[in-house]
Amino acid sequence: MSKPSRRSRGSITVQDVAREAGVSAMTVSRVVNGGTNVREATREAVLAAIAKLNYSPNSAARSLAAGEATQIGLLYSNPSAAYLSQFLIGALAAARRAGCHLVLEACEGERPEEQAEATRGFVQTHVQGVILPPPLSESGPVRAELEAAGIPWVSVAMGLPPEGSLNVRIDDFAAAAAMTRHLIDMGHRHIGFIRGNPNQTSSAERYRGFCAAIEEAGLELAAMPVEQGFFTFRSGIVASEAMLDLPKPPTAIFASNDDMAAAAVGVAHRRGLHVPQDLSVVGFDDTALATTMWPELTTVRQPIAAMAEAALTMLLDELRAPVRTDHAEQVLAHQLIVRESCAPPPKA
């Protein structure tokens, strides 16, 4: 017997499967991927051999041979940690299936130069494509830098994506409208709205959704208190205080994200208002925060992990496409999550 090889990992390869099934390695490969032009009997034999030997393809060899994109960038700034972890889970799952690596890069700064800088650091590491979760999906400097380097990117969760961009999102407008309708259906007629950070188009879309539902119900939009927030907990405190200081405070507050909703609940408690008996509060995003507060928050759930997966898949399709596809958009379904922070308004 010849000594096998100096550095054999002893793992099962296509060759082993091919021998077992009595076919060639190429046929095994064909069965494993897609499997066009393989006779049914052959396929079954191969599948049986795979099962018997417990074969799993070597992803390194696969990437090498196929010459596929292997480094995908993910530029994150500081969305809520809960958002990021869900996002990473989805992206990782898709990346592993595709056999590519995720390259993370943090971009903490707000300033344009900082964002451009982080992006350049990225370009130099030879990533073939970039995924941009919010709020960076809307950052001008980042996109300009990628454009200049000729690197394709996918924006995630933009409210209103520009024409010709690759993006994955939910329908912020419809979700916000549905939430507003839920409040109206409960009997609220005086609803405060805390807007999101204006640097994201989803803020505007959510506000639009709110307005549309109000008018659709025949209520007077101008009578609704609206405060500007910035998606941060602190901005939520300021906005809610302003709202509750009004001569006629609202009976419900719709905050554009969970952090600000949590702030509203905190402010209400501090003023001796009970939630939801005295004041209903609802949020948006369904982050972990929504269930680590009391009462638990009624909110809108985005399928974050699924959005990340869709983004990565879209990006890989783009990279592997022989010709540049001009534009792709995917809108995933959101979900209204009803918990305990919302009740009919107190009797006047």
Partner DNA sequence: CAACTTTCTGCCAACGTTGTCGTCCGCCGT
Partner DNA sequence: ACGGCGGACGACAACGTTGGCAGAAAGTTG
**Interface residues with its own copies (CB under 8 A)?**
7, 9, 11, 54, 56, 58-61, 63-64, 67, 70-71, 80-82, 84-86, 88-89, 92-93, 95-96, 99, 101-104, 106, 124-126, 233, 237, 259, 262-263, 266, 269-270, 272, 287-289, 291-294
Rg (CA), the chain: 26
Any residues with CB less than 8 A from the CB of 167 and at least 6 apart, and which? 137, 154, 155, 156, 158, 161, 328, 329, 330
- Cis bond upstream, residue 247 (ω within 30): no
> Quick count: other Cβ atoms within 10 Å of Cβ 54?
7
Contact 64, 121 (CB under 8 A): no
Contact segment (CB under 7 A) with DNA among 26-34, 74-82, 130-138, 176-184 equals: 26-34
Contact 77, 107 (CB under 8 A): yes
Select from its own copies, DNA, none the partner in contact with residue 294, using the beta carbon and a kind-dependent cut-off of 5 to 8 Å.
Answer: its own copies
Select from DNA, its own copies, none the partner in contact with residue 175, using the beta carbon and a kind-dependent cut-off of 5 to 8 Å.
Answer: none
Any residues with CB less than 8 A from the CB of 83 and at least 6 apart, and which? 133, 285, 287, 304
- Cis bond upstream, residue 250 (ω within 30): no
Select from its own copies, DNA, none the partner in contact with residue 127, using the beta carbon and a kind-dependent cut-off of 5 to 8 Å.
Answer: none
| Closer by beta carbon to its own copies, 95 or else 131 | 95
Select from its own copies, DNA, none the partner in contact with residue 285, using the beta carbon and a kind-dependent cut-off of 5 to 8 Å.
Answer: none
Any residues with CB less than 8 A from the CB of 245 and at least 6 apart, and which? none
Regarding 48 and contact with DNA (CB under 7 A), the answer is no
User: Residue 19 CB, nearest distance to DNA (Å)?
Assistant: 10
Regarding 119 and contact with DNA (CB under 7 A), the answer is no
Site of interaction with DNA (CB under 7 A): 4-9, 11, 13-15, 22-30, 32-33, 36-39, 41-43, 55, 57-58, 61-62, 64-67
